Structure formats: C-alpha cells, structure tokens
Structure 1
Amino acid sequence: MTRLWTTLRQTARLMVGMPDYDAYLRHMADHHPGAPVMDRTAFFRDRQEARYGGRNGGRCC
C-alpha cells in the first residue's frame, strides 16, 4: 500500500508540474555519487527555470 501511495503522490505532483526532490536525490546517489547535490530550494528553482525558461526566454505570460 505504501508503494502505491508513493507512486500516486509522485504522479500527481508531476501532473501539476511539481518536481520530485526525493527522486532527484535517489538518482544522484545511484548515478552520480561524488557530485554535489542541490538543496531543495535550488532544485525547485532549477526545475522551474527549465520548465518556464530563464529571464531571457520562455513564455511571456
């Protein structure tokens, strides 16, 4: 039941554009063990910029 809840929560977050920080941490630990890891705030800002574009691009509204 816990695995189902986790999957549903992750799916709902992705549907509304909220990135999964815990998945990012697992990915970094598994694939890039020596690399620096962003804190939650930096991760959110990075994902937001990737989705909507930076200050010099992206959508107008």
Structure 2
Amino acid sequence: MSVFLHRLRQMARMMVGVPDYDVYLRHMRECHPERAPMDRTAFFRERQEARYGGKNGGKCC
C-alpha cells in the first residue's frame, strides 16, 4: 500500500473514531517494551470502553 493510501486510511479511521491497532503496537514497542501488547480484540474493546465508558480518558502515559 502506498504511503498516501495508508495515511488517507488512517485519517479516515481517526475521523470516525476507529482506533488504529498498528499505531498502538508501535507505541507499545517504543514506550513500553517490557509490557506485552493486547491482542486486536482486547485492544478494540479497551478503546471502546475508554471512549464510551469514561474509564481513564484513553491515555496510558
């Protein structure tokens, strides 16, 4: 996939509030290498809870 299409897809997902699992994985590798990342299903559920359930505002650090 071209860089342009990747960025376009990412922007479209952000506009409708769909979390980006690849960005999450990159964040975990860079900022929390000692922690195991959530699988895709757990990540999506956690993001939905953070967005609609109001737990911690969706911020880890």
TM-score (norm 1): 0.80
The number of residue pairs the alignment matches comes to: 54
Residues of 2 paired with 1:6 and 1:37: CA distance? 22
Give the aligned partner of residue 51 of structure 2.
51
Give the aligned partner of residue 4 of structure 1.
4
Post-superposition Cα deviations, 1:2-53, rounded to whole Å, max 9, x if no partner, equal 1111111011011111100000001111111111210000000000001111
Give the aligned partner of residue 21 of structure 2.
21
TM-score (norm 2): 0.80
Structure 1 residue ranges, 4+ long, deviating more than 4 angstroms after superposition = none
**How many percent of aligned residue pairs carry the same amino acid?**
67
The letter of the residue matching 1:10 is Q
Long gaps (5+) in structure 2:
55-61
How large is the RMSD of aligned CA atoms in angstroms? Answer: 1.4
The letter of the residue matching 2:47 is R
Long gaps (5+) in structure 1:
55-61
